[in-house]
Amino acid sequence: MANAAAELPGTPKGVPAEAADSLAFRLWRRLRAVGGVLLSLALTFLGLTFVTFIIGRVMPLDPVLAIVGDRAPQHVYDAVYQQLGLDQPIWVQYLRYLGGILSGDLGTSVQTSRPVLDDLMRFFPATIELATLATLVGVVLGVPMGVLAAVHQGRLIDHCVRLVGLIGYSMPVFWLGMVALLVFYAKLGWVPGPGRLAVFYEGMVPAVTGLLLVDSLLAGNMTVFWNAVDHLILPVSILGTFALAYIARMTRSFMLDQLRQEYILTARVKGLSERAVIWRHAFGNVLVQLITIIGLTYASLLEGSVLTETVFAWPGIGQYITNALFNSDMNAVLGGTIVVGTCFVGINMLSDALYRVVDPRAR
Amino acid sequence: MGLAWKRPLIATGLLLSLGLAPPVMAETPPDMLVVGGRIDDIITLDPAEVFEFNGAEVSANIYDRIMMYEPENLTELVGGVVESWEISDDGKTITFTMRPDLTFHSGNPVRPDDAVYSLKRVVKLNKTPSFIVTQFGWTEDNVDELIEVVDENRFRITITEDFSPGLVLNALSATIGSVVDEQVVEANAVDGDMGYDWLKNHSAGSGAFELVTWNANETVVMESNPDYRHGAPAMQRVVIRHVPEPAAQRLLLENGDIDIARTLTPDQIAGLAGNDDIVVTDHPKATLYYVAANVAVEELSDPRVWEAMKYLIDYDGMEETFLQGQFVQHQSFWPKGTWASADAMPYTLDVEKAKALLAEAGYPEGFELQIDSLNTAPFMDMAQSVQSTLAQGGIRTEIIPQDGSALWPKYRARRHQLILARWGPDYLDPHSNADSFASNPDNSEEAGLTGVLAWRNAWADDEITEMTAAARSELDLERRKEIYEELQLLHQVRSPFAIMFQQNEQVASRSNVEGFVSGPVFDLVYYRNVTK
């Protein structure tokens, strides 16, 4: 028992504690952990590309017709069929695609005639801008609302928060977007219409990051910056409402769970202030769960919201991937999938890292 | 607790303060035309490859073609970069004389060499629309001899197949007849690709506008050509914005953020009535909507079934209800309002007659089938109407709605039963449609005439195929017209195509916008006469 107790977690059986505690051994453990993460990442991407590739090939869609059009004579069709390598066995096609990815080539998009990588660099920042701000709205408003609702369970404020959550959750985004446009753009004129920027400002700031807010600041062009901000208000508010509804609801639920625990009663009996009980003790204990929820919300927004992007004519990755699917543009679909997959993996890793910061037990 | 209350309020206040920023409405500048529509079909702007609606529209404004239908008169075929032409006695050779002093956007002169290079480029690149000119007998191997520069003002084309010179001239008015600046294109060529990669999103033309940018699924921006042969366009810039949602397009139009909305639905057009700031104009198109029967399917092999099908469509009902002015009835393969069209419309909904025909064909109790259709408006509404009236005659159908990427492979492989689809001519000569709707020289599976509608429906009529060939090679214009009129009437009765409607594009624009022209064919849309 004594020997077993001296072993460090992750130490092979029989390795004494002194050896396990040595620098070399700690390095070995760290490397093994990093290797494990890298292996898991590689397997995730391999699986992601494989499944997407196979789905793309078995779907009754014809990528050749997306290029040549439905009226193409057979000889034109056959030529493009060969150019795309579709006459090769599917595993050869997949290996070629993988080889391309490893050399940084995601292929060329049918719908834009540009390298998929270039497209993603253009469309993804538009989605990042929207998703990040919407998540911020969701967190900044949703978390306090959820906490308040839990603290005042069954009272007016709780009902209001639940109503907001219900509305945000059940209203079709398409409808909400159109109504918001009708009221705030068409009737009141408070915000500009669909689009990322007024047409006369397009091309006025050089694309450095693709994020208009950042690029306009880098260029020192405040007119473009404020125009971009104006255009963001409505779509961010709509997407933010959904993020808010989800985050507020989950925060309320987590907090209610904690507030029923005995340690809360103990803290109150000890005479701690209500503020300390709620924010330091109860809220501190829901942080891990909240980070998961916020991370997932952000990742799902980074996938792109097709309907919001359609209503607001927002050139984001959601529209890009959807159009690519309709046009059998498999390179674009695969490229988009890899980006979305990377986001999920990245955000999950970030969440894991944050768990360790907020919860000592996870270290 | 107090602070807990204040936090969300402060955050909400911040958000609202952004929302209450000064009003941001803006009219479009007087010398800029902003058009809202769907431009996600554009996959290239190379005139040797463009075959999509919006790509062809943009191309029409950037490139002058060898022959053209100008916006001032869309029914008269005139020279584009050429001022005159001479046709040899046998009709096989046409010698063109260039207009003097034309220049490309680059400042280079427009030479016969450029016209010859452009046509050879179409043949050698061999992209989808190349069939429009390769049908004349031009191949990669012979095109250098058959298309040649005569002198510094003239060039000559020779065809090896039997085609009427009128048809050849019409074909040269299609997008593939666009003349590109050889020197600029070759300067941007890579590995002998004749500038193929570069021209996808750049321009090298002599048209009224020059391409500034094409951001896929976002915008197309064009700038006026101050040296254009008809004078500089009034609009300094034309911006075509991708606004996929028609309701958003309408809001943008009503607020003055766009000048023209191209893809509003009938109910949105109706909703604009009474708005004095908006004008709705009609632009008859040559696009036809039809139902076709795959005659290889046993139940659809009898011509009496095809005829019954034509009597089981509620043409009037659809036109008067959900199509609301965006379509007009038309029942022959060449659209009305064009040269040599036949306007006879013998079919109306007649259930009893259809039932009698089905009984004669051996189907008194009808049968069950599938209708393939695109899943977008107005196809789904049309499909449901057709489904309902076919059922009245005993033909029970299941609608298979699908996207084009799934429908077209099925159609080309002859795997459909009934199909609801559309077709627009590639150029303004009846041969463009006759060659697809009527002619089928080899109905075998091996022939693989996948671009031909008659073949896709496994239907071949030798007499009709021969008439199509005779019409295309007829030198006498009047006689040619007669053959086409006769051919359309014959096809109307004997083919498995129930042609139903011709599109009428309704364009909504701000009331101060004038001069926008959208011609019958998809590559005849002009911005150069627009004023505000």
Write down the domain spans for chain A: 23-102, 116-362
Q: Residue B61: what pLDDT? A: 97
Residue A251 has pLDDT above 80, yes or no: yes
Mark whether B25 and B158 lie in a shared domain: no
Residue B71 has pLDDT above 70, yes or no: yes
Mark whether B91 and B219 lie in a shared domain: no
Cα dihedral B358, B360, B364, B367, rounded to 10, equals -40
Minimum mean pLDDT among A315-319, B440-444, B485-489: which range? Answer: A315-319
Q: Residue B19: what pLDDT? A: 45
- Percentage of the residues of chain A whose pLDDT score is greater than 90: 31
In this predicted model, what pLDDT tens digit does every residue of A148-175 receive, in sequence order? 999 998 999 999 999 988 888 888 888 8
Measured between beta carbons, which residues in chain B are less than 8 angstroms from residue A77? 450
Q: What is the CATH number of the domain that holds B266?
A: 3.40.190.10
Measured between beta carbons, which residues in chain A are less than 8 angstroms from residue B34? 199
Residue B51 domain-assigned?
no
H helical segments located in B151-293: 165-171, 182-187, 196-199, 246-254, 266-271
Residue B469 has pLDDT above 50, yes or no: yes
In chain A, residues 158-197 whose CB comes closer than 8 Å to chain B? 178, 181-182, 184-186, 189-195
Task: Report the CATH superfamily, name and number, of domain A116-362.
Answer: MetI-like (1.10.3720.10)
Measured between beta carbons, which residues in chain B are less than 8 angstroms from residue A111? 40, 43, 216-217
Q: B229: which DSSP letter?
A: T
Q: Residue B332: what pLDDT? A: 97
The total of other beta-carbon atoms located within 10 Å of residue A292's CB is 17
Give the domain range for residue B259: 2-44+207-277+511-526
Among A61, A64, A65, A70, the residue to mutate for chain B (most B Cβ within 10 A): A70
Contact criterion met (CB < 8 Å) for A193 and B247:
no
Measured between beta carbons, which residues in chain B are less than 8 angstroms from residue A320? 217
Q: What average pLDDT does range A218-234 have in this prediction? A: 93
In chain A, residues 303-332 whose CB comes closer than 8 Å to chain B? 310-313, 315, 319-320, 323, 326-328
Mark whether B264 and B367 lie in a shared domain: no
If one compares A96 and B104, the residue with the highest pLDDT of the two is: B104
Among A73, A141, A328, whose Cβ lies nearest the Cβ of B12? A141
Q: What average pLDDT does range A44-51 have in this prediction? A: 86
Smallest CA–CA distance from B13 into chain A, residue: A141
Mean pLDDT of all residues belonging to chain B: 92
Mark whether B269 and B165 lie in a shared domain: no
Q: Residue A21: what pLDDT? A: 65
Q: Residue B4: what pLDDT? A: 43
Q: What average pLDDT does range A44-67 have in this prediction? A: 82
Q: Residue A363: what pLDDT? A: 62
Mark whether B483 and B518 lie in a shared domain: no
Mark whether B300 and B259 lie in a shared domain: no
Among B218, B220, B222, B423, the residue to mutate for chain A (most A Cβ within 10 A): B218
Minimum mean pLDDT among A90-99, A301-310, B304-313: which range? Answer: A301-310
Contact criterion met (CB < 8 Å) for A145 and B221:
no
Q: Residue A16: what pLDDT? A: 60
Among B19, B201, B245, whose Cβ lies nearest the Cβ of A113? B201
In this predicted model, what pLDDT tens digit does every residue of B320-364 receive, in sequence order? 999 888 999 999 999 999 999 999 999 999 999 999 999 999 999
Mark whether B220 and B272 lie in a shared domain: yes
Mean pLDDT of all residues belonging to chain A: 85
Residue B259 domain-assigned?
yes
Cα Rg for chain A, rounded, in angstroms?
26
Among A61, A68, A113, the residue to mutate for chain B (most B Cβ within 10 A): A113
Residue B487 has pLDDT above 50, yes or no: yes
Whole-structure pTM value: 0.83
> pLDDT-derived band of residue B9, with 50, 70 and 90 as boundaries?
very low
CA distance B345 to B486: 14
In chain A, residues 57-86 whose CB comes closer than 8 Å to chain B? 60-62, 65-77, 79
Report the relative pairing of strands B93-98 and B154-158 from DSSP bridges. antiparallel
Mark whether B305 and B254 lie in a shared domain: no
Among A70, A189, A319, whose Cβ lies nearest the Cβ of B412? A70
What is the least distance, in Å, from the CA of A18 to any CA of chain B?
50
- Per the structure, the count of domains in chain B is 3
Mark whether B425 and B307 lie in a shared domain: yes
Q: What average pLDDT does range B104-109 have in this prediction? A: 97
Contact criterion met (CB < 8 Å) for A190 and B23:
yes
Mark whether B75 and B212 lie in a shared domain: no
Q: What average pLDDT does range B43-58 have in this prediction? A: 92
Minimum mean pLDDT among A340-349, B142-151, B228-237, B258-267: which range? Answer: A340-349
CA angle, B107 then B117 then B109, to 5°: 20
In this predicted model, what pLDDT tens digit does every residue of B239-273 receive, in sequence order? 999 998 899 999 999 999 999 999 998 889 989 98
Residue B23 has pLDDT above 50, yes or no: no
CA atoms B71, B72, B77, B83: torsion sign: negative
CB pairs under 8 A between A and B: 185
Q: What average pLDDT does range B9-14 have in this prediction? A: 46
Contact criterion met (CB < 8 Å) for B248 and A181:
yes
Identify how many contiguous H helices and E strands chain B contains and give both numbers.
19, 19
In this predicted model, what pLDDT tens digit does every residue of B268-316 receive, in sequence order? 998 998 899 999 999 999 999 999 999 999 999 999 999 999 999 999 9
C-alpha distances out from residue A73 to A39, B12, B128, B174, Å: 47, 60, 7, 17
CA distance A158 to A148: 7
Mark whether B488 and B384 lie in a shared domain: yes
Residue B470 domain-assigned?
yes
Measured between beta carbons, which residues in chain B are less than 8 angstroms from residue A67? 43
Residue A4 has pLDDT above 50, yes or no: no
> pLDDT-derived band of residue B517, with 50, 70 and 90 as boundaries?
very high
Q: What average pLDDT does range A209-222 have in this prediction? A: 93
Mark whether B303 and B391 lie in a shared domain: yes
Residue B2 has pLDDT above 50, yes or no: no
Identify how many contiguous H helices and E strands chain A contains and give both numbers.
17, 0
Residue B14 has pLDDT above 50, yes or no: no
Residue B252 domain-assigned?
yes
Residue A248 has pLDDT above 90, yes or no: yes
Residue B75 domain-assigned?
yes
> pLDDT-derived band of residue A19, with 50, 70 and 90 as boundaries?
low
